[in-house]
Amino acid sequence: MPPPLPVVRTVAELRAQVAAWRRAGERVGFVPTMGALHEGHLSLVRLALERAQRVVVSIFVNPTQFGPNEDFDAYPRAEARDVELLAQAGAHLVFAPGAAEMYPEGFSTTVSVAGVTEPLDGAARPGHFTGVATVVTKLLLQCGPDVAVFGEKDYQQLQVIRRLVRDLDIPVEIVGGPTARAQDGLALSSRNAYLSAQERPVAGQLNAILRTAAGRLRSGEPVAAVEADAVRALTEAGFRKVDYVEVRAAGDLARLGPGPIEAPARILAAAHIGRTRLIDNLAV
By CB under 8 A, which span of 34-42, 68-76, 161-169, 233-241 interacts with its own copies?
Answer: 161-169
Compute φ and ψ for 278, nearest 5 degrees: -115, 145
**Among the listed residues 132, 177, 140, the one whose alpha carbon sits nearest the alpha carbon of residue 56:** 140
Does position 110 interact with its own copies (CB under 8 A)? The reply is yes
Does position 3 interact with its own copies (CB under 8 A)? The reply is no
For the CB of residue 171, give the shortest distance to its own copies in the complex, in Å: 7
Residue 231: strand, helix, or coil: helix
Does position 255 interact with its own copies (CB under 8 A)? The reply is no
Does position 106 interact with its own copies (CB under 8 A)? The reply is yes
Does position 272 interact with its own copies (CB under 8 A)? The reply is no
Q: At what angle do helices 79-89 and 39-51 cross, to 10 degrees?
A: 40
41 is catalytic: yes
Does position 25 interact with its own copies (CB under 8 A)? The reply is no
Site for its own copies in 169-208 (CB under 8 A): 169-171
Does position 112 interact with its own copies (CB under 8 A)? The reply is yes
Does position 16 interact with its own copies (CB under 8 A)? The reply is no
The torsion defined by the Cα of 38, 6, 165 and 110, in degrees rounded to 10, comes to: 90
Does position 164 interact with its own copies (CB under 8 A)? The reply is yes
The CA distance from 216 to 213, in Å, is: 5
For the CB of residue 224, give the shortest distance to its own copies in the complex, in Å: 26
Compute φ and ψ for 10, nearest 5 degrees: -125, 150
* Cβ neighbours around 68 below 10 Å, total: 7
Does position 7 interact with its own copies (CB under 8 A)? The reply is no
For the CB of residue 255, give the shortest distance to its own copies in the complex, in Å: 16
The catalytically annotated residue of 38, 41, 128, 272 is 41
Q: What is the per-residue DSSP string for 160-174?
A: HHHHHHHHTT---EE
Of residues 142, 156, 189, 205, which one binds its own copies by CB under 8 A? Answer: 142
User: Whose Cβ is closer to its own copies: residue 2's or residue 171's?
Assistant: 171
Which residues lie below 8 Å from residue 59, measured CB to CB, with a gap of 6+?
Answer: 33, 34, 35, 79, 82, 94, 95, 96
User: Whose Cβ is closer to its own copies: residue 112's or residue 196's?
Assistant: 112
Active site (catalytic) residues = 41
